[in-house]
Structure formats: structure tokens, C-alpha cells
């Protein structure tokens, strides 16, 4: 298991009508944890956000926030991450 402490889940864009849009996430936000699990990579974000109830802890402009919502049937997460 590799430690990826340099990972930042920096959001590049949000799809309209997606789960992320419903949660109020915006480009530039940094995802820190999903459903109580710290995330090390984009796969972690997608895996932990596959539940019906989703809580995302994120950082915006240096301040940490949390947003929780219920996924609509078939609703995509809708996050495009920046790539190094």
C-alpha cells in the first residue's frame, strides 16, 4: 500500500445536475474525505462516494467544510479532477 500524501483532490469542473452540484461543490475545492474516509486518490473518492448517502469534507479558500446529501437514482458524482 503506497502512501500518497501529496494527493490533492482538486476539482477542475462539476457536471450540472450531478451529486457534486447538489452538494454545492465548485471548481477549485479540494476533497479531503468522503463518508468519513480520508482519500488518497481519485479512485478512493469514487469508491467511497458510491453510497446512497454521501458526505464530502472539502477545503475552499483555506476553510474546511462538509456537505451531506442523498443520491438520486442514477445520479452521477459529476466531478472532474485536475491532472498533474
> 14 in a domain, yes or no?
yes
Structural domain that includes position 63: 9-81
What percent of the chain shows pLDDT beyond 90? 76
Give a yes or no: residue 4 inside a domain: no
In order of 1, 30, 53, the CA distances from 82 in angstroms are: 23, 10, 25
Helix (H, G, I), strand (E, B) or coil at 45: helix
* pTM of the shown model: 0.86
Domain harbouring 57, CATH code = 2.30.42.10
Whether 16 is covered by a domain: the verdict is yes
Write down the mean pLDDT value for the chain: 88
Amino acid at each position: 500500500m503506497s502512501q500518497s500524501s501529496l494527493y490533492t483532490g482538486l476539482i477542475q469542473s462539476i457536471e450540472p445536475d450531478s451529486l457534486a452540484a447538489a452538494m454545492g461543490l465548485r471548481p477549485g475545492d479540494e476533497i479531503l474525505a468522503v463518508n468519513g474516509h480520508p482519500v488518497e486518490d481519485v479512485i478512493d473518492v469514487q469508491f467511497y462516494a458510491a453510497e446512497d448517502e454521501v458526505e464530502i469534507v472539502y477545503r475552499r479558500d483555506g476553510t474546511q467544510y462538509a456537505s451531506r446529501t442523498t443520491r438520486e437514482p442514477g445520479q452521477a458524482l459529476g466531478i472532474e479532477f485536475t491532472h498533474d
